[in-house]
Amino acid sequence: MKIFYSDEHRKHFPPFELFDGGKRVPYFENPDRMDRILTALKKTDWAEFIEPTDFGLDPIHAVHDKAYINFLASCWTEWLDSDPTLAEAPETHAFLPATFALRRTPRVPSSLHGKGGYYMMDLSACIVEDTYKASLASANCALSAAEYAFSNQQPAFGLCRPPGHHAGKDYAGGYCFINNASVAANWLSLKGKVALLDIDYHVGNGTQEIFYERNDVLTISIHGDPEFEYPHYFGFADETGAGAGLGFHRNFPLPKDTDDVKYLSTLDEALNMIKEFAPEYLVISAGMDIFDGDPLGTFKVTQNGFTEIGKRIYALDLPTVILMEGGYANEALGTNTVNLLENFK
């Protein structure tokens, strides 16, 4: 199986993030996640690692607002230039705004911190010196996997970091800066109908927003109920699309302690929707944080559950692009990822 991966992700490693209540903690979305997955994949006899191709900015601009992408590109340099004392120990800092826009006005502020609050959803999307470079490499992993699936009609895995499904058209959030799955799905939509299934523990709010009024990409998300889970403002069952996209989005919010049986039953319902839509390509936002014991989740999916999830998705018999999203139980992360992927080898 082709695994598209870039070491560029290591350049994105914020020194901290802020949890609810203002507690400063080590960054959960860290390079160790990729190392655990790489180690597990290298023990198999079917993983072939490939550097991604640079697709340029056009596929990204097709999904994201150009001014937002420009903000990601220039934020760190502009911040350092505004306060020379930051340059004394930049590795101890991360750019975060103190004020967030309520989006009741379309006006984009001119100040850096104003733009930060406009283009960032929360305090986990920390920007450091090479966040933008790492995000571009991550998007190129997704696009390279999509190109391979299209050209060869075979599955491919994009080992993407940073993840992407919380990034909206013009905002970062939840460790995500460029929506890798949406960029890949949009690229594939020029070739034929696409279904995008998000199995991360948290709702793919950015993906939902990006395709909400489109009917050429079916989007489905299975996740922790936003009544109690991040990001709280998206992912409810009655959000089913709008305009031309009405009926082409579906959320499956699930309760705490969802186990293999409940999860697989819901997955079957989602897969039946995909069959009815009859896409030519499938994109999976693969979050491993549904695992029993993940520090940022409440589900009880087992390692055998990941094997069964992969088996049922594979049975759709579609060219499939699998892209890495969340998963923070690092000790089990490699095994869980291999269990999901081994069906597609």
Active-site entry in 12, 166, 223, 249:
166
C-alpha closest to that of 283 among 151, 174, 148, 188: 188
For the question of residue 113 being annotated catalytic, the response is: no
Structure tokens at 265: 């039953």
C-alpha closest to that of 37 among 284, 283, 326, 345: 326
Give the chain's length: 345
CA distances from 177 to 19, 54, 61, 168, 217 (A): 18, 17, 13, 8, 21
Which residue in this structure is represented by tokens 């999904």? 63
Residue 182: CB atoms within 10 A of its CB come to 32
Per DSSP, the chain holds a count of helices (H) and strands (E) of: 10, 10
* Burial class of residue 243 in the structure, from the number of CB atoms within 10 Å of its CB (0-12 exposed, 13-18 middle, 19+ buried): exposed
One-letter amino acid for residue 173 of the chain: G
Element (H, E) at 17: strand 17-18
Cα 68-74-79 angle, rounded to 5 deg: 115
The helix/strand/coil state of 275 is helix
Residues recognised as catalytic: 166
